Amino acid sequence: MSFWWLAWKDLKMIARDKKALLTLILMPLILIAILGSAFGNVMKQDDDSVLEKFSMGIVNLDKGPLSKVLVEEVFENQMKDQIEIKSLHESELRKKITEHHLPVGLIIEPGFSDSLMTGEQAKVKLLTVPDPGLKAVVVQKVVEQFADSVPIEAAAAQKASLVQTGTDGEKKTLQEMDLSKVSLLNETTVSAKTKMVGSFQYYAAAMGVMFLLMTVVQGVSNMILEREQEVYNRLLLTHLTYTYYLLGKLLGLVVICLAQAAVILMGTGLIFGVDWGDSASGVLVMTMAFIINACGLGVLAGSFVKTEKAFSVAGMFGTQIMAVLGGSMVPMYLFPDWVNSAVKFLPNALALQNYLKLMTGAGLADILPAVLGALGLGILFFVIGLIRLSMGRRGRYA
């Protein structure tokens, strides 16, 4: 159990370092408050932003002609430069959006065409990932405009026939067909409980993962610094093996990160009222998996870098790049879909995407594949780091 005492020593030393404690605990909360407030407005002003072409899934349950026009003429033809349409079954669409493979989906309910023609409430359901940004707005506007214009044309034709008959009752029916007053769209983010993610929520998760990443970099820097000093050689001359050395370091780092995560989770919840979702176990397991993944990556990177100075510089740049790609700086849904899919191998991106899922009501079962992936990657990184470290010692000159 010598690795446990190594971890305990690291924790004791951190606990005595007031500056480090301040950075670990206060800084994340301050930044979350600043960014959550500042970017809250930006996220509401998505209309001014530039929109890349995106994919949308459509389920057309309506047999009428108007839904066909909406899908084929409007979306597939007129908007082909902005939106790529994928026709899907409902279950397929829900799965893809839940898994963030599609940002937006549209379900055209049965009777859509008839409802529009008769002026009844037409039913269309817009499904989105949390915080879809402009994509959802664009689809919503298109559907609303379609709903406004198509029945008017239909009504014009009907009016001509009514004028011919000239009955008062039928004229009244015609006025009631003004669909601008009809609530057409039922917008929802996908999950059983269908919650939306606010800016504070988003940045609580985004800043949280970024700070945890920075803590990992700091921890690995300290590990490299120790390796540059004589204490490391002395450690290796005791009962401590390479494996136990890395396990001890990893354990210490994981506990420090868990403490920071607890502060972020509870602090944002209590101070800013951030809702991390209904699944406490999901948040806990995801946090643990993310930390192990990030620490494993850190240990791997640390095993390839010889000096603490070099790692600190590389770590600083690496963290910033990972934070940008992972959605900690700007909302991830402003990126093209392929970027969001590609960056899932980054611990922070994977964690953030799954925290957002949890915030929208997903449970532990929904994020389990991501958790397993993160754990697997973390262990793989750790093993490679261990091999690298033990091999690196063989050629060292005294």
Partner 1 sequence: MIEREVRHGLGVVNVNLLAVQDLRKNFGQFEAVKGLSFTVEKGESFGLLGPNGAGKSTAINMITGLFPPTSGEIRLRDIDIVRRPKQAQKTIGVVPQEIALYQEMSAKENLKFWGRMYNLSGKKLEISVDGVLEMIGLTDRARDKVADFSGGMKRRVNIGAAILHQPELLIMDEPTVGIDPQSRNHILETVKRLNHEGMTIIYTSHYMEEVEYLCERVGIIDHGQVIAIGTLRDLRESIGDRSRIMIMLDGETFNQQEIINHLEGSGLSVDKDILFKENLLTAFHKEPQNILGGLIQYLTRDGIKISSVEIVEPNLESIFLQLTGRSLRD
* Nearest-approach distance from CB 219 to partner 1, in angstroms: 16
- Return the H-helix or E-strand segment holding 242: helix 242-272
Separation between Cα atoms, residue 32 and residue 201, nearest integer Å: 9
* Nearest-approach distance from CB 3 to partner 1, in angstroms: 10
Name which of 240 and 263 has its Cβ closer to partner 1: 240
Question: What is the greatest pairwise CA distance in the chain?
Answer: 106
- Return the H-helix or E-strand segment holding 189: strand 185-189
Name which of 78 and 238 has its Cβ closer to partner 1: 238
* Nearest-approach distance from CB 313 to partner 1, in angstroms: 25
Name which of 141 and 393 has its Cβ closer to partner 1: 393
Q: Which residues bind partner 1 (CB under 8 A)?
A: 2, 5-6, 9, 12-13, 16, 229-231, 233-241, 393-398
Name which of 13 and 271 has its Cβ closer to partner 1: 13
Q: Taking the alpha carbons of 39, 44, 50, 52 in that order, is the dihedral positive or negative?
A: positive
Name which of 5 and 345 has its Cβ closer to partner 1: 5
* Nearest-approach distance from CB 138 to partner 1, in angstroms: 57
Separation between Cα atoms, residue 358 and residue 350, nearest integer Å: 12
* Nearest-approach distance from CB 97 to partner 1, in angstroms: 51
* Nearest-approach distance from CB 2 to partner 1, in angstroms: 5
Name which of 20 and 383 has its Cβ closer to partner 1: 20
Residue type, 256: I
Reading across the β-sheet that carries 104-108, which strands appear in turn?
83-87, 54-60, 104-108, 124-128, 185-189
Name which of 61 and 235 has its Cβ closer to partner 1: 235
Separation between Cα atoms, residue 136 and residue 180, nearest integer Å: 19
* Nearest-approach distance from CB 24 to partner 1, in angstroms: 17
**How many residues does the structure list for the chain?**
398
Rounded to 5°, angle at Cα 105 from 102 and 108:
160
Give Cα separations from 153 to 118, 178, 211, 323 (angstroms).
13, 11, 56, 50
